[in-house]
Every structure is written in structure tokens, then in C-alpha cells.
A and B are shown apart, each in its own frame.
Chain A
Amino acid sequence: MPWIDACSTDDIDAEDLIRWDHAGQTFAIYHSPEGEFFATAGLCTHEQVHLCDGLVMGHLIECPKHNGQFDYRTGEAKRAPVCVNLRTFPVKVEGDRVFVEVA
């Protein structure tokens, strides 16, 4: 599976996320408070709302529509109304670039 150059490390503030679209798919890439990077599917599993307008709090991403929460490191659904886990994707950082392994 290919590693795709997604963005620069400077593109995402600490404790925030951005939207990244690739090959017809949409993703969310996160910058944790500890400086690590993570990637998940871009749309909430509840009602297909994009998570990029949501709020990152520690290791949680909160959906902007209904306030459902996921742990973006594991994709685990943490707060109603989300019940289905979020898909996650491997991420690596080389220099100042963030790469996502896209399935």
C-alpha cells in the first residue's frame, strides 16, 4: 500500500486537524498535543459530516454536527451519538512532511 505525501507538519496546529482529500477519498489528519500525527477517515460514522470542522480536545475529535467523539489514535467511538468506530490509517513523518498509508 502506498505512502502518500499528504501535507507539511506546519500545516496543522498542535491539537488540531485538517481535511485531506486523495483519490476520491476524504481523510482527517491530526496533530496531537504531544506533537504526533494521526490520520482517520474524514467523515463521521454517524451522519457523514466532515470532521475537519470539529474540535480536537487532547486525543479526541468531536464531530461538529452532533458532538459525537472519537479517539483519533484508535478510531474508537467514545461518545453518543456515534456508535461505529472511525477507520484509521498509518502515518509517518519524514523531515517536515506527513505521509499517510492509504489503503
Chain B
Amino acid sequence: MGKRNYSLFGPDAARAVESGLTAAEWYHTEVPRKVMKDLMARSDAPAIRDTIILYGSMILLAGIGIALWPSWWSAPFWLAYGVLYGSASDSRWHECGHGTAFRTPWMNNVVYEIASFMIMRNSATWRWSHARHHSETYFVGRDPEIAVMRPPEVAKLVLNFFGILDVIAFIPRILRNAVSGPTPEERTYVPQSEWGKVQRVAIVYVAIYAATIGLAVWMGSILPLMVIGLPRMYGAWHHVMTGLLQHGGLADNVVDHRLNSRTVYMNPISRFIYWNMNYHVEHHMFPMVPYHALPRLHEIIKDDLPPPNRSIAEAFREMWPAILRQVRNEDYFLKRALPPTAKPYREDFHQYVPGMMRPAAAE
């Protein structure tokens, strides 16, 4: 049993409020208003292009997979389809949830709803949990989207590369949402005006899965589930791999995204799947900047940030030992050095919750 209590009703949640942590102002790199306006400008073109490529590829790959089924020759096509279904949907859910991917609101909403279904997140619930994740990023007991809780349970992290725990958690939750609306915990961050929508969305999801399972039983084959549902598991590995890097091994209960988020240079295919969220410090500091402008934002503010990791592999080599060390000492975290051009970390920013960010715990 660790010292941290991640329950949204627990003592750490209360302490984060009482100490003033939740009301504290986050650090931001200074960017001139005109430059920021240019970076924030919305455009439909990049996201329409990417969405056509994404959904076109999914239809093609699933079509070949179905045509070759049940031969093992279909396997590579399912694996590629699965990553687009079970991982690219995570980044589409994320960007369209922010409303920044497209300029046109209905386009954001359509892709958000499709992506939410594929990634198995109630679209009416998770929009609100993600708002909290941005307000109170990695505040223990307040952020409902902490991927690596301390002390880390490494077996659970590994299982989730196949979406196992996420899917196991999703099934009872969506059934409960369909029967009685949001859970008590969800009601802490979803406004009451949205509770009916949470239930309606859940009923639609349950109906689609029931129809898919019914079709599979009628056909006597898992093929329908290879198209809908199972790719959330066999294709989850990429979004878990990139998602762990966002905040893994870094500080919690701080108000400077340079301390709790990680930017990693990635290959173009991973950046397409991840929609540039590898620029994660930049995204958290300026969530209004669309994914397609994040590389430009990175160039502008990088001198005020810790140096980015040079690759996914290099980032894992940094993060994984830190996570393993947190198993033994949950207060440990990585504190990356800033370049001389950066404004220094302000230790006084981070003393809100006693014991949570002792300088001695960091390296």
C-alpha cells in the first residue's frame, strides 16, 4: 500500500484543495501574442487529409483481413488495422475532444464520437475527465487520468499494452452507465446537465457491441469482433507505449509542465498515429495549439524546456528505470536539467503538498 491515495474522494484529493495546489497558477513560457494567435489558428485541411488517410487505410486493411480470413496471411493486416483502431483512435479522441483538430466544430464532434467508441471511452464522460487532467495534471487524488500511479504496478502496465485492464474496466462501467448514468466518481467531474447524455451514449455503445457479438454467434466466428471490439486490445500497444511516455517517471503535484510532462522526438508513422502528441510539454502548456502546429510551437519554446528525448527507445531507457525505482521508493521522480536559456524551476511553486516534492527525491 503506497502513501498516495488516488481516490477522487480520498485524503490526497482534499489536501490538494486545502493546500492551494488546485488553485495555483501554472508556469508558462512567454510567447508573444501575435505568434501565439498564429499558432492557435484553426484549419480543416490537415485533419481532413489525415482522417481520409486513417479511415481509408482502416477500410482497406480490414477488407484485406476479411478477404484472407481465416488464413494466417490475414494477420499482418489485422495487426496494422488494430493499431489504427486501438491506438490512433486515442489521439483522435484527444485532439477532437479539445476541439482543435478541425476548424469546423461538427467535424471535431463526428471524429470524437467515432474515436471515443473505438477506444472504449464514454464520449460524454471522458470530455470532462480530460478537462480535469489539464487543470490538475498529475495532482494525486484530483487527476482522473493518471496512467502510472505510485508505487507503479508493473504487471498492470504490461497487461495494458494489450488493453486488458482497460477493457475489463470498461465493460462494467459502460453497462452501469447504460442502466443508471454516471458512477458516483464520474459525478464529481461531469456536470449534472450531462448525466442523461452519459446514459444515452452508453446505451448506443452497448447496442453496437451486442449486435456485433450477436453477429459473431450467428456466424460461428470471431470475425465481426476482429473488426469491432478486439482491435482495442490487439492494437492498443502503440497508444500505451506513447501514453506512458507522457508523464511516466516524472513529478506529481507540481504546477510546471516541464516537471511532469515529456516531449519525445518520434518517427513519422508514430507521429501520424499519435497526432503529434509527442510534443507533450508544449501541448499541456498551450492546449489551444492544434496538433499540426505543435512542431512549430516546439521550435519557438524549446530553449525554455528540458531537452526532448531523441527517440521512443531513448525515452523508455530514461523512463523505465525510474518507474522501477518508484516501485521501491514512490517519492522518487526524474527531474530533468533545463538548458541555460530556460527560466529555472521555481521550487516554491512546488511545496504545496508537504512531502510530495522533496528536492532530495528528485534526480
Contact = CB atoms under 8 A, between A and B. Distances in A.
Interface of A: 16, 46-47, 53-55, 57, 62, 64-67, 69, 79-81, 83
Given A53-B36, A57-B42, A67 B288 contact: yes
Interface in B194-225: 194
Contact of B288 (A47, A64, A79, A83): A64
Given A65-B135, A66-B135, A67-B99, A83 B42 contact: no
Nearest to B25: A49
B36 A66 contact: no
Interface in B75-109: 98-100, 103, 105
Nearest to B23: A48
Contacts of B286: 64
Main secondary structure of the interface of B (DSSP, over half): helix
B312 interface: no
28 contacts: A46-B131, A53-B36, A55-B37, A55-B40, A55-B41, A55-B42, A55-B288, A57-B42, A57-B103, A64-B287, A64-B288, A65-B134, A65-B135, A65-B287, A66-B131, A66-B134, A66-B135, A67-B99, A67-B288, A69-B99, A79-B99, A80-B127, A80-B128, A80-B194, A81-B128, A81-B131, A81-B191, A83-B191
Contacts of A69: 99
B193 interface: yes
Nearest to B39: A55
Interface residues of B, number: 21
A46 B131 CA distance: 10
Contacts, number: 41
Contacts of B100: 67
Main secondary structure of the interface of A (DSSP, over half): loop
Nearest to A60: B105
Nearest to A15: B37
A81 B37 contact: no
Contacts of A66: 131, 134-135, 287
Given A66-B135, A83-B193, 18 more contacts: A46-B131, A47-B135, A53-B36, A55-B37, A55-B41, A55-B42, A57-B42, A57-B103, A62-B99, A62-B288, A64-B286, A65-B134, A66-B131, A79-B99, A79-B105, A81-B128, A81-B131, A83-B191
A16 B37 contact: yes
Nearest to A66: B131
Nearest to B22: A47
A89 B105 CA distance: 27
A51 B40 CA distance: 14
B62 to A, nearest CB: 32
Nearest to B286: A64
A18 to B, nearest CB: 9
B293 to A, nearest CB: 12
Contacts of A65: 134-135, 287
Ranked 6 nearest A-B pairs via Cβ:
A81-B131, A55-B40, A66-B131, A67-B99, A67-B98, A64-B288
A60 to B, nearest CB: 9
A80 to B, nearest CB: 6
Nearest to A62: B288
A64 B287 CA distance: 7
